[in-house]
Amino acid sequence: MIRLLRELQGRLREAGLPEGEALDLLALAAGLPRKALLLRLAAPPAEGVAEKAFALLKKRLSGYPLQYLLGEVEFFGLPLKVAEGVLVPRPETEGLVELALALPLPPRPRILDVGTGTGAIALALKRHLPEAEVFATEIDPKALALAQENARRLELPVSFLLAPLTGGLSGLDLVVSNPPYLPEGYKEVAPPELRFENPLALYAGEEGLAVARPLAREAAKALKPGGFLLLELAPENVHTLARELQGQGWEAEVLRDLAGRDRYLRARRPPQEAVGQEGALRGPEVP
């Protein structure tokens, strides 16, 4: 199978795609885990494996995401099922989880992941903060069902809500989200992989802040005084929202991802006296 693997690698390289994906495609075609495939590379491919591998390659070269072909992606050490039309968790979002885990949260924090998609953020936080009460909202029923399936498989109890933004929750210590943040104009230059993901999870108006802005307004009511808002945004718009929140009395700062790009917004809700009486901000709490 070494010759077949090299041919797949060459085709991927010519297309500007990582040649390391060839091993994933070949393993999928052979019906074997990657490790098992590595032990059998010296053997000839079984009947039909080459045909399946080239069919998978053709689909991948069309721009179809590798994660959808595999049906699974690893996020913060968790194996998550993924499906076409639901946002694929990105490595940058793992940085958002790391920032959340570094916050000075209370011993039993109430956490909300807004726009949960596959459930990646909520499930990673529940795994590493088992004492936390974790909620997750989503407006896409397909994505919500996938997140619930991932939670069952991983045996991580998260309360999922089919609702927009904060879903009317209150008394929260942390609101975290990877909301849609790409400007609509980005569609003209977007890589082909994005065609297969839900545009509602990607694009957010002319500036890319059509979701993040109302989310911040709701977070001001949903968070306890001194609670945290943590967002992943685009380098082009994260400073804009940070300045707006600072003008509203929030403590807000922009943090960089591993590639050195301005990516994350970490903000702290103003103390009670800066935003009015707490009773006017709180809605019904979820037991």
The three-state secondary structure class of 107 is coil
Tell me the per-residue pLDDT of 21-78, one tens digit each, with 9 for 90 and over. 999 999 999 999 888 998 888 888 889 999 999 999 999 999 999 999 999 999 999 9
Tell me the per-residue pLDDT of 6-17, one tens digit each, with 9 for 90 and over. 999 999 999 999
Flag whether pLDDT at 276 surpasses 80. no
Q: What are phi and psi of 159, to 5 degrees?
A: -90, 110
Q: Which residues are annotated as a binding site?
A: 115-119, 138, 178-181
Query: The tokens of 40 are what?
Result: 């059998």
Q: What are phi and psi of 49, to 5 degrees?
A: -65, -45
Tell me the per-residue pLDDT of 205-250, one tens digit each, with 9 for 90 and over. 999 999 999 999 999 999 999 999 999 999 999 999 999 999 999 9
Q: Which residues are annotated as a binding site for S-adenosyl-L-methionine?
A: 115-119, 138, 178
Instruction: Identify the band that residue 278 occupies on the pLDDT scale cut at 50, 70 and 90.
Output: very low
Q: Are 285 and 170 in contact (CB under 8 A)?
A: yes
Q: What is the dihedral of CA 245, 126, 283, 274, to 10 degrees?
A: -30
Flag whether pLDDT at 112 surpasses 60. yes
Domain ranges of the chain: 2-62, 72-280
pLDDT at 274: 52
Q: Which residues are annotated as a binding site for substrate?
A: 178-181
Flag whether pLDDT at 160 surpasses 60. yes
pTM (2 decimals)? 0.89
Q: Are 118 and 143 in contact (CB under 8 A)?
A: yes
Which CATH class, in words, describes the domain spanning 72-280?
alpha beta
Nearest CA to 135 among 159, 170, 151, 168?
159
- The mean pLDDT of 134-147, rounded to a whole number, is 97
